[in-house]
Structure 1
Amino acid sequence: MEFESIPGVGAKTASALAEVEGAERALREGDVAHLASAPGISEGRAARIARGAIRREHDDSSRLLRTDRAREIHRELLSLLQDRAVTAYGKRRLETFYPSGSPSRIEEVRAFARRALEREPDPDVREALSGVTPLETPRDVRVRDRCLVTSDAETLAAAREALPELPVEVCEDARGLADLARSYSTVIALDEAFTGVEVEGDVQVRPDALSDPAEIAPERVLSFFATNRESIRAAISVHRTDGMDPPCDLDSLDDALSRLGPDGEVRDDAELDRLTRAVSDLDASVHTAESVANDSLRNAIEERDVTIEGTDLLSLAERGAGIDSLLSRELADEYAEAIEAAREHLIDALALDPGESEIARGAFPEEPTFPVEHDENVVGRLREELVAEKERRATRGKRELAADLAAFRDPSEALVRAALDLDVELAVSRFSREFDCTMPDFSGAGIEIEGGRSPLLAEPLEAIEPVDYSVAGVTLLSGVNSGGKTSTLDLVCTVVVLAQMGLPVPADRARLERFSEVHYHAKTQGTLDAGAFEGTVREFADLASGGEGRLVLVDELESITEPGASAKIIAGILEALAETDTTAVFVSHLAREIRSAADCEIAVDGIEAVGLEDGELVVNRSPVKGRLARSTPELIVEKLAREEGTAIYDRLLGKFES
């Protein structure tokens, strides 16, 4: 894949993506977390790259949202979706869903959404998902106890690339090999020329070593699984709880992970644990064994009356003999018992096997001496034996466990990806269920909504009155203040944005055309100055002469200037839009004046207030087709005329009806 062909990807970003194994798959699947593992690419940047790749795949050059308010609606909806995702990955993955004009892209997401709607959000699954994170590849794995050896420059380069975890040494002869064997516990020679060379130490001739990295450096596999163990286990829990079809045997994977420690060490190996304790406790156990011997011998001396003939004492003195000779002559049995006690204590304390015990016995020599002291050379040999056996056992255990886990590398990645993708599906499912959504139909012209409830309203769903509204062509939307005109525009924009993202929409039923652009102009705050007014008029002039298949939503454009001039300007814009294939809804309190100023028939819909109760408007939130809604002042005057019966109120009411 040519990464630079993706919109927004330059040479530097393409180079970073090239360093990531599986980048092409991640781009196809929108795997934001995997793309973010590339050097210097943040998750936000990865989401934008994924969107660019999706656009390229669908040849999608559309830019549906053309105004700030339209883009704001999209951001608010995306935030609502993201709030229903559990994982950080799910929140980022949802950012790859964008409003599109491409039929193939919309249908691709619709297929995903249909699967999502079949999901039943389970609290236990969501709890399990909270522990799932994208898998990481450790970059700082280093092995210090073994090395690779070669005399060939080409092999040297290949070894450093294939096994960067291990030091690679250059060696020409047996002497150099022997030096390395004294520095490393294991030396792996890659050249067949070293076959038959005998040196002291663990030296292996393995010309094929580079073909099996997991055996030579099992730390690579173990580090990967140790780093990602909790996430993989959480993904296992997700699959079990949700009943998903797993890519491998979950029990076998879970069992292998249970044998792996948090730092990549092998767990539940009793022999390795014994050797580890023995190495750790060796010095302390030797000193304790010395104390055992000396205490035993001191007690024996204190309890024993030793009688020495004068001639014997004179003989010992003439020979310069001391306590050692006296012990040998008078307390030989007691000394032997003390030494045996020290040996048994050392063997028992370290749980030594027969071979190790044989070395340990020599740590306390039989020649009488007081106080008893260990032989440091023997203790050193025992330490070397224990350390060597510990490292051999650890390496063997690592290789065995790495061999078991290596087979689960790809399945584990698939397992975690499936769990993370499930989070995205469940987010869509929760959004759809919480806002009573349905999949819309793309047919006909304009837009038709039945039972729509805007998720952007700051009210509980059950408190929102459902809205029915349909529009095709150019329409004025009239209505009382706070009657729901702006909310209706928001609902229309919401339905279009979600539908063209390929997602379900908050309505009982929705039908719409596939729009090429969405222009939503929010209410202007205050009258514009001359420059801003000119810019706004230019913008709408360009809009009126633009392309086909657009949706234009405008909220009270009359606020840009004086009411009389506004009505004429809006009438002219609507006339121009009516001549194009545009669906437009203009909210205005000047509907009567605009319709009078227009040279063509302009449809007017109304959000009607059906009366006043206790000073509060009672409103039918669904716009009535072909009805110019009465204003709040008209309703108040009507109420006064009905209640007071004074002529002035009838006269005022007549002005509204003329």
Structure 2
Amino acid sequence: MNAIKLRDIRGIGPSSEKKLVSYFGSEDLVLNALRWSRIAEISSIDGIGERFALSLCRNLHYQETGEQIQDFLKTEDTILIYNRIIDLISKFGNTFYSRSKLYLYFPLPITALAKIIDRQQITRLGLELYTIIEKSANSLTEYDTLLRHLTPLKEHSDSIDTASRAVATTDKSIYNELLSNIIGNYCDILFIEDYEKINDTLAGSDEVIWIGNDYALDDELPNIISVSESQRHEINRILPEKTLTFFAQNKNTLVTIAKLASLLQKLPSDKLANYIGELNLNMLVEMGEELKNLEETGEPSSSLNKEFSRLLNAETSFEMVLEEVLLKLNDELEKMLQDTTIHLEGEKVLALLKGFSAEGQGYSANSSRKDLREYLDDELYLAVEEIINKAENELSSKLYLLDEDTDYLNGIFPRELKFPIDPQDEIKNRFTEYLRKKRSSKAFELKVDLAQKLKGYEDVAMKGLHCMLELDYLLMIGKFAGSYNLALPEFVEGKGTGLYVKEGRNLFLAQQELKGQLKVESVSYALGELGKIANGVNGERIVLLSGANSGGKTTLLVALAVIIILSQMGLPVPCYEAKIGGFKELHYYRKSAGHMNAGAFESTLRTLSQMIMSPNSRLVLADEMESISEPGASARVIAAFLDLLGRSPDSVGIFVTHLAQEISKYCKEGLRIDGIEAKGLSENLELIVDRTPKYYTYARSTPELIVQRLQKISKGTEKEIYSYILEVFDS
């Protein structure tokens, strides 16, 4: 067989192939990821998604092994039961990964017993983990709450915001090098030749990274970060976002992984390796601590550094604080002016009036105010200036500015006789730009430090996610088994085909029992060579199951189908003990509604013929197939098929029927008739039934008990109808 290529897998085209190889590094690594169902990693690739990743894993599995769900589940009815099982188990999972992986664990033919046994080992781990956590200080609810927040990790994004960053140097060779490498794709690269214009050259950038040790810059520039020539090759020194973006956009999932790692550290250390392998839990916990310093936006946390917090607070609250201080300033100024009495001599009033009347002829209001100051007392101007100085000091204090910061704020309120006072736009804009650049530069320094610390955690983060998703799968199986009190079946090789079930339960009824809706009775049953385990059973492979209406015949068939499906999935089953010979095929035919027409009869014959022609060992479960034709013909047809099935030494079958005696008369091969007996009605008018079939016993349908029940609970004319039917039974 030729080695599988990526292009051979159904669903993979040139685009998806390129993405997969780019992510994992090679075609072989992609194939390994698909074989190991690493759905979380695969689905994190842009354009892949979880459902597509699941389908790729399934398609590769089929192409390499030839195994598919239809190999074992041979009828639509068995597929329906399987889907109900999957739906039930999936409710115990918290992630798409665990539910998807369950779909990859479809039941396998007994020829794949080694793989089924391997799956049982994984199931044992899930049961063990469930038990250990149940006994630990931390509840399963804590794990479930965290596991629900796990999502695929997003890839590194090439889209990072560095538009306001520039890299400057006076070295021509470094300049050319920067232009040609990745840094040139993200930052303006500046070559400094004229020192006299250096401030103007750098003024347009919020962050300027100066490479080299020879710069002579204006000390007033707040946004210069120096990087030595030897450090320029460290990408995190210039583009820390290349590292931080991964951690920022995946922060919720990564923090969740760290919290789960912390919980796992509390479990018995001698057991941990079974679930996490060599995963370094300490590193994951440390990663979680470092992520406290990074926001989902990719910016440092405000709590990381006091200076950064101060600058960030000043920048974000400046407009609001300015408005508050300005309102208070004008209130005080208005009050002070209202309380002021001004005395002017006649000549001064005349001069002022002449000045104001000239405004329309080019004489400005500023000139008027200038003249006004000549005629007003200095005390008034000093009082106004004091109020303005006080306001500026209050603004500085509320913004927690340092002396070096206030240099950019001084004069924001004009020192002139004017009401109301407005801030000077030029100074306001200059201060805003200063704060932005200073905060941005400080943030850059912190991001560089964070990137240096976090870069070593990426690999362990990826492994951690895969491990925690596997943990969810194990716990899903463990919770399923624990909630329904399930047990792993034993596959018995070399002792013939068949099955033996002790105290089995119908899983779907047990689901209702968990909700408090009913009480499930356990049933023991056996057939085939393994049936000899049960006392007094000879090992017949073909059984006709007779018995009371609503006695549990269909429930038993479904219970056995579920037990076989779960067994050959490698999962635990709803019974106290189960021994399975194993089958290559499972056929289940549910009861049809009403009488079949000619076309349906022909279709059923063809379906049964295909089943008979199969050379594989099989378990056949059929529910009241007598509706294929009138009773006499049905009995003959069913008997013929039972004879043909009986000739296959590795096949067994249970046929629920109300025609057991009629069918047995036409059978030439040996078969067994078992029965579920009804003993009457209880005080509550419920059918009294022993749900466990009696071997070698024909049990009547006892429809009269159903009629009797209806007669007792009905009234009037309806009651009379049922009474008459009972008379007919007794006649």
Asked if these proteins are the same fold (TM beyond 0.5), I'd say: yes
DSSP 3-state at the match of 1:511? strand
Asked if the contact 2:546/2:660 (under 8 Å) is kept, the reply is yes
Number of the residue aligned with 2:524:
468
Asked if the contact 1:58/1:105 (under 8 Å) is kept, the reply is no
Number of the residue aligned with 1:521:
589
Indicate yes or no: 2:59 matched with 1:52: yes
Q: Which string of whole-angstrom CA distances, capped at 9 and with x for unpartnered residues, describes residues 51-109 of structure 1?
A: 33445566635721111110011011111101222344433332222112223432232
AA aligned to 1:584 is: G
DSSP 3-state at the match of 2:508? coil
Number of the residue aligned with 1:401:
450
Number of the residue aligned with 2:182:
159
Report the number of matched residues.
Answer: 631
> How many angstroms apart in 1 are the aligned matches of 2:331 and 2:87?
76
Number of the residue aligned with 1:503:
571
Q: Which string of whole-angstrom CA distances, capped at 9 and with x for unpartnered residues, describes residues 168-204 of structure 1?
A: 55878869999974443235699x9x99899997487
The equivalent position to 1:107 in structure 2, one of 93, 117, 129, is 117
> How many angstroms apart in 2 are the aligned matches of 1:259 and 1:455?
49
How big is the shift at 1:504? 0.3
> How many angstroms apart in 1 are the aligned matches of 2:177 and 2:561?
63
AA aligned to 2:80 is: E
Q: Which string of whole-angstrom CA distances, capped at 9 and with x for unpartnered residues, describes residues 316-359 of structure 1?
A: x9999724456797778667755643553343233221222344
Q: Which string of whole-angstrom CA distances, capped at 9 and with x for unpartnered residues, describes residues 182-227 of structure 1?
A: 443235699x9x9989999748788888964444333454444344
Asked if the contact 1:253/1:405 (under 8 Å) is kept, the reply is yes
> How many angstroms apart in 2 are the aligned matches of 1:45 and 1:496?
29
> How many angstroms apart in 1 are the aligned matches of 2:379 and 2:639?
128
The equivalent position to 2:658 in structure 1, one of 589, 595, 603, is 589
**Alpha carbons of 1:340 and 1:182: their partners in 2 closer, same or farther (altered >3 Å)?**
closer
Kindly report which structure 2 residues correspond to 1:168-317, keeping only aligned pairs within 5 A, or say none.
181-186=202-207, 202=224, 212-241=234-263, 243-244=266-267, 247-249=281-283, 252-265=286-299, 266-268=301-303, 269-282=305-318, 288=325, 292=329, 299=336
The equivalent position to 2:74 in structure 1, one of 66, 69, 79, is 66
Indicate yes or no: 2:693 matched with 1:623: yes
**Alpha carbons of 1:589 and 1:439: their partners in 2 closer, same or farther (altered >3 Å)?**
same
> How many angstroms apart in 1 are the aligned matches of 2:372 and 2:661?
126
AA aligned to 2:671 is: I
> How many angstroms apart in 1 are the aligned matches of 2:210 and 2:81?
65
Number of the residue aligned with 1:599:
668
> How many angstroms apart in 2 are the aligned matches of 1:180 and 1:552?
85
Indicate yes or no: 2:503 matched with 1:451: yes
Asked if the contact 2:485/2:574 (under 8 Å) is kept, the reply is yes
AA aligned to 1:460 is: E
Indicate yes or no: 2:146 matched with 1:129: yes
How big is the shift at 1:521? 1.4
AA aligned to 2:523 is: V
Moved more, 548-557 or 222-231: 222-231
**Alpha carbons of 1:478 and 1:289: their partners in 2 closer, same or farther (altered >3 Å)?**
closer
Moved more, 9-18 or 98-107: 9-18
How big is the shift at 1:569? 1.6
> How many angstroms apart in 2 are the aligned matches of 1:99 and 1:590?
33
**Alpha carbons of 1:560 and 1:419: their partners in 2 closer, same or farther (altered >3 Å)?**
same
**Alpha carbons of 1:619 and 1:303: their partners in 2 closer, same or farther (altered >3 Å)?**
closer
How big is the shift at 1:452? 0.4
The equivalent position to 1:142 in structure 2, one of 138, 161, 175, is 161
DSSP 3-state at the match of 1:322? helix
The equivalent position to 1:37 in structure 2, one of 34, 44, 56, is 44
How big is the shift at 1:442? 0.9
**Unaligned 5+ runs, structure 1:** 638-648, 654-658
> How many angstroms apart in 2 are the aligned matches of 1:488 and 1:566?
23
Kindly report which structure 2 residues correspond to 1:569-580, keeping only aligned pairs within 5 A, or say none.
569-580=637-648
Q: Which string of whole-angstrom CA distances, capped at 9 and with x for unpartnered residues, describes residues 602-637 of structure 1?
A: 233332335565676433222233333334269999
Asked if the contact 2:318/2:399 (under 8 Å) is kept, the reply is yes
> How many angstroms apart in 2 are the aligned matches of 1:591 and 1:284?
89
DSSP 3-state at the match of 1:407? helix
> How many angstroms apart in 2 are the aligned matches of 1:147 and 1:54?
51
Kindly report which structure 2 residues correspond to 1:317-328, keeping only aligned pairs within 5 A, or say none.
322-325=371-374
The equivalent position to 2:624 in structure 1, one of 538, 544, 556, is 556
**Alpha carbons of 1:128 and 1:455: their partners in 2 closer, same or farther (altered >3 Å)?**
same
AA aligned to 1:263 is: T
Q: Which string of whole-angstrom CA distances, capped at 9 and with x for unpartnered residues, describes residues 10-46 of structure 1?
A: 5565455445458556534424343333444443333
DSSP 3-state at the match of 1:618? strand
Asked if the contact 1:293/1:342 (under 8 Å) is kept, the reply is no
**Alpha carbons of 1:73 and 1:263: their partners in 2 closer, same or farther (altered >3 Å)?**
same
**Alpha carbons of 1:99 and 1:437: their partners in 2 closer, same or farther (altered >3 Å)?**
same
> How many angstroms apart in 2 are the aligned matches of 1:290 and 1:541?
94
AA aligned to 1:595 is: S
Number of the residue aligned with 1:388:
437
Moved more, 560-569 or 397-406: 397-406
Asked if the contact 1:159/1:168 (under 8 Å) is kept, the reply is no
AA aligned to 1:167 is: Y
DSSP 3-state at the match of 1:456? helix
How big is the shift at 1:374? 6.5
AA aligned to 1:274 is: R
Moved more, 93-102 or 203-212: 203-212
**Alpha carbons of 1:286 and 1:235: their partners in 2 closer, same or farther (altered >3 Å)?**
closer
Q: Which string of whole-angstrom CA distances, capped at 9 and with x for unpartnered residues, describes residues 459-492 of structure 1?
A: 4167222111111233322222222221121111
How big is the shift at 1:151? 11
> How many angstroms apart in 1 are the aligned matches of 2:201 and 2:638?
88
> How many angstroms apart in 1 are the aligned matches of 2:119 and 2:340?
93
> How many angstroms apart in 1 are the aligned matches of 2:327 and 2:555?
89
> How many angstroms apart in 1 are the aligned matches of 2:422 and 2:15?
68
Asked if the contact 2:589/2:623 (under 8 Å) is kept, the reply is yes
Q: TM-score, normalised by structure 1?
A: 0.80
Percent sequence identity is: 27
Indicate yes or no: 2:91 matched with 1:93: no
Asked if the contact 1:132/1:419 (under 8 Å) is kept, the reply is no
How big is the shift at 1:568? 1.7
**Alpha carbons of 1:179 and 1:591: their partners in 2 closer, same or farther (altered >3 Å)?**
farther
**Alpha carbons of 1:561 and 1:347: their partners in 2 closer, same or farther (altered >3 Å)?**
same
> How many angstroms apart in 2 are the aligned matches of 1:264 and 1:2?
39
AA aligned to 1:596 is: K
> How many angstroms apart in 2 are the aligned matches of 1:530 and 1:184?
85
**Alpha carbons of 1:601 and 1:146: their partners in 2 closer, same or farther (altered >3 Å)?**
same
AA aligned to 1:382 is: F
DSSP 3-state at the match of 2:281? coil
